[in-house]
Each structure stands twice: as C-alpha cells, then as structure tokens.
Structure 1
Amino acid sequence: MSSPRPVWTGLVTVVLAVAPALAACSPEAAPPARADAPVIVPGAPGQSGSGPARSPAEAGPVAADVRFAEAMIPHHRQALEMAGLAAARTGDPLVTAVADRVADGQRPEIAVMESWLRSLGRTPPPAHDHGTGDHGMSGYGMASEEDLTRLRTARGRAFDTLFLTLMIRHHEGAVGMAAQELRRGRDRAMRAMAQDVVSGQQIEIARMRGIQRRLASP
C-alpha cells in the first residue's frame, strides 16, 4: 500500500501567504550571506521598520533555504527522468509502482520550490537542467551521464536491478540534502519540504530494498 501523499495545496498556500513579506527581497539581496542569519521584519505602512528580528526558529528565508531549493529542483528532475524510463523497460509491476510514486511525489514538490524561489525574486534552475551538472550536489546520489546511458539501454531484469540501485542512491542523497536543510534552514515552507523528503524517501528506500531482495532470490 502506498504511503499517504502530502497535501501540497496546503504547502502552496503557505508559500503564497509569505510571498508579500518576501517581495521586498531583491535577487541581489536574497539570500542573506549567512546561512543562519535571521531576516529583519519590516514595519507595517506608517510604522518604523526597525523592529526586533524574529528568533531563528521564526526567521524567514536564509541562504541555506535558497541553496536547498535551487539544488533539490534539478535533483528531483533527474529522479523524474529515471522514473520516466521505467514504463517502456520493465515488466515488473513493483518497479512500475516505484517509478509512479517518484513521479507523483516529486513533480509537485518541484512546482512548490519553483514558486517559492519566484516569490523571492529568484529564477528557478532552467527546465533543461536535469541535474547532471554539479549544483553543489557532489556526494548526494546524482547519477552520472554514463549511469543514465546504461539505464536507457537496459531492459527487463537488467533495467530493474540498475534502476533500483540508482534510485536508492539518489533517494539517500536527497535525504542527506534534506537533513542539511533541517540543520541550517529557517524557512517554514522549505523545512516542511525537507521533512517530507526525509520521511517519504526513507519509506521508498525500504520498499526498493525489498524489491531488490526479491529480484536477487533464486
């Protein structure tokens, strides 16, 4: 049975709700230089803008939040690319189900992160960027172009075995990226995204390892 899906409409609402407060941040000003620097809350019209800063737990976006979104978007895109290969290459319904869950879960996450970046006045990574570049993600499970070429040419059990190996490594990398956001980030929406990545992708890793064991059995 598939795990419950996150209700992304609620997260989109959070992103849109904070957008007016973030509009004052120009592309040059966002993100702040320090990953843990809180954002000063401007005063309401007619009031002084020199009010106290929010505590780190309540602070708005910091550099770590922006780096997380800008790195996770191409990371997710590569997962979608791999998942999109499954339908024509596997005959295993469990592998197909894994690919479908990746597509159903990560496509809306990309949309949320793109919307969040635009609310800061930042341009999301371009659509043609599918994550084969670095993006500061070395060591975060990204498949190489050689890996992707092998996956595109594989069929049947060979595809299933390679797909699961690459996707498990990819998910583990995403969990590592999300854990870093939870340590350093301050934005509520991005931290919620990171928490969902940690919980959801760990469940998927366990499922894929179970399929690997079944494929390896005589």
Structure 2
Amino acid sequence: MKPTPPLMRRIALVAATAASTLVLAACGSNNGDVDGRSGHDSPAKPASSPSDRAPAGTHNAADVAFAKGMIPHHRQALEMADLAATRAASHQVKELAEKIKKAQDPEIKTMSGWLTAWDEEVPEEMPGMDHSAHSAMPGMKGMKEMDALKKKSGKDFDTSFLEMMVGHHQGAVRMAGTEKDKGAYGRAKTLAAGIIKAQNAEITQMNKLLGKN
C-alpha cells in the first residue's frame, strides 16, 4: 500500500529536520578545539614571534631610516650618560644620566628587533664608540667633542655634559618628528612621539640646571 500524500509530506518534513540538526551539530563542533586543532581543522596558531610583532609590509623607507639613525644616536647618548657616573659633581646630573640610560637602552633593543624582522641590517657598534660615520645626523657629536668631555670632571663636566646633551636631544627630536610625519609603521610612530615628549621635557630640565630658564 502506497503512503497517502499527507503522510509523504510528514515523512519529508521529518527527514529535512533531521538533516538540519546534523548540519548544525557539525558546524558547532568547529567552534572549539578538537585534538589540539582550532575550528575547521586548521592547525593551532603558534605563539607570536618578533617578526609577528613587526610584520614585513607594514613599514616604509622612513621607518627603516628612523631605526637605523636613532640606534647609533641613542648609543652615543648612552656613552655620554655612562661618563656621568664617575665624572659628574651634581647629583641631579647623575640622576638624569641614569634616566637617559634606562629609557634609551630598551629603545635600542626595540628598534634593532624591528630591523631584524624587516630583514634590514642593524647598525654595528663602532670600535671605540667612533660615531664619525653618523656625524651628519642632527645632534651627533664628533670625536673631538667626546674626547674633550671624557677629560673633564666636576662642575666643568656637568656644564659640558648638559650643553652637549641638550643639542643631542634636540637632534633626536628632529629625527623623531620626521618619523611622525613620514613613517608608516604604527609602533615606530608611537615610539617617535614618546621620544619627542620625553626628550623635550629633559631639554627643559637641563636648561634649568644650566640656569637658562
């Protein structure tokens, strides 16, 4: 005996409902992890690496120039700050030098990581801290100025250190301003903004110590 038309419609409706339930269940299983795999049988995403934090293609030539220039610029500031520990007379100058070191050393590491992630060369440290190759950068000091600073101590050192560091900071602010205007990499632009803010504040502090404010 053949099913009547109403019965056939009921059978078709039950079959369609069952099929829909199976499809929804299958889709739902993909929302969680299965055997250590993420949804849709894709492999779990590995932990982020330095290259993930600074992916290629998100930067431009200005970002590269900023990092390659600011690294040796910061290194010279660290060299000057290191001298203050044994040569400065003013406790305020020594504290400022330590503050500069704590801020700029991590920034060197950060920018070096970006360059590595971008497959760019990280500037090498010059033998004997000779920065003459970078003397054209704003605020960079020549070997004669650095040698003269090394020979000073006490209040004479304090004055020379502050005057040199003011010019050095002003150069860094100019370089950071160029990055803010022309760079593309968000984190580099953020770092540049931080450099401008911090070093302008230190310039004000150093000018005050020099009696210029």
**TM class, shorter-chain normalised?**
0.7 to 0.9
Gaps of 5+ in 2: 1-47
Which residue number corresponds to residue 133 of structure 1?
Answer: 132
The answer to whether 1:18 aligns with 2:17 is no
Alpha carbons 2:132, 2:143 under 8 Å: kept = no
Q: Specify whether residues 176 and 14 from structure 1 end up closer, same or farther in structure 2 by C-alpha distance, changes over 3 A only.
A: farther
- 2: CA distance, partners of 1:82 / 1:98: 11
- 2: CA distance, partners of 1:128 / 1:139: 15
SS at match of 1:159: helix
> Which residue of 120, 126, 136 maps to 2:118?
120
How do residues 1-218 of structure 1 correspond to structure 2 at under 5 angstroms?
16-19=51-54, 21-22=55-56, 39=57, 60-128=58-126, 130=129, 132-135=131-134, 138=136, 140-213=138-211
Gaps of 5+ in 1: 1-12, 23-38, 40-59
- 1: CA distance, partners of 2:154 / 2:113: 38
Structure 1 runs, 4 residues or longer, greater than 4 Å off: 13-16
Question: Which of the pair is proportionally richer in helix?
Answer: 2
Higher Cα Rg: structure 1 or 2? 2
Q: CA deviation at 1:14?
A: 10
SS at match of 2:125: coil
- 1: CA distance, partners of 2:174 / 2:133: 16
Alpha carbons 1:83, 1:103 under 8 Å: kept = yes
Q: Specify whether residues 194 and 14 from structure 1 end up closer, same or farther in structure 2 by C-alpha distance, changes over 3 A only.
A: farther
Q: Specify whether residues 116 and 14 from structure 1 end up closer, same or farther in structure 2 by C-alpha distance, changes over 3 A only.
A: same
- 1: CA distance, partners of 2:130 / 2:185: 24
Identical positions, percent: 35
Q: CA deviation at 1:139?
A: 5.2
Q: How big is each residue's C-alpha offset from its partner over 1:107-135, in whole Å with a ceiling of 9 and x where there is no partner?
A: 00000000111011122101336462344
Q: How big is each residue's C-alpha offset from its partner over 1:47-76, in whole Å with a ceiling of 9 and x where there is no partner?
A: xxxxxxxxxxxxx10000000000000000
Alpha carbons 1:15, 1:189 under 8 Å: kept = no
Q: CA deviation at 1:138?
A: 2.0
- 2: CA distance, partners of 1:141 / 1:17: 33
Q: TM-score, normalised by structure 1?
A: 0.71
- Supply the RMSD in Å over aligned alpha carbons: 2.1
Higher RCO (Cα < 8 Å, 6 or more apart): 1
Question: Number of residues paired by the alignment?
Answer: 165
Q: Specify whether residues 139 and 108 from structure 1 end up closer, same or farther in structure 2 by C-alpha distance, changes over 3 A only.
A: closer
- 2: CA distance, partners of 1:194 / 1:15: 20
- 2: CA distance, partners of 1:190 / 1:204: 21
